[in-house]
Amino acid sequence: MAASSRSRIVIARLFSTAGTGYAYTTVRPRIAEKLVLRKYDPIVKRHVLFRERGSSKS
């Protein structure tokens, strides 16, 4: 069986820094930094910062 190779792309889950628990899911290259984006949080009904959290899945 061939040795498993790490994927070039990882799945990133971005959680709201407002603490609501709302999250967005996207992809990024493995070598890139963790994502921090400004996106809409429907629970507080405002645009807030979303920060990638946890181990990234390949």
- Where do we find the tokens 């498993």? 4
Q: Is 23 in the site for other proteins (CB under 8 A)?
A: no
| Structure tokens given for 3 | 């040795």
Residues 6+ apart with CB under 8 A from 46: 18, 40
Give the interface segment with other proteins, choosing from 7-15, 24-32, 34-42 (CB under 8 A): 34-42
- Where do we find the tokens 């921090």? 36
Among 26, 27, 36, 40, binds other proteins (CB under 8 A): 36
- Where do we find the tokens 């990882």? 10
Among 3, 4, 8, 46, binds other proteins (CB under 8 A): 46
Among 19, 26, 29, 32, binds other proteins (CB under 8 A): 19
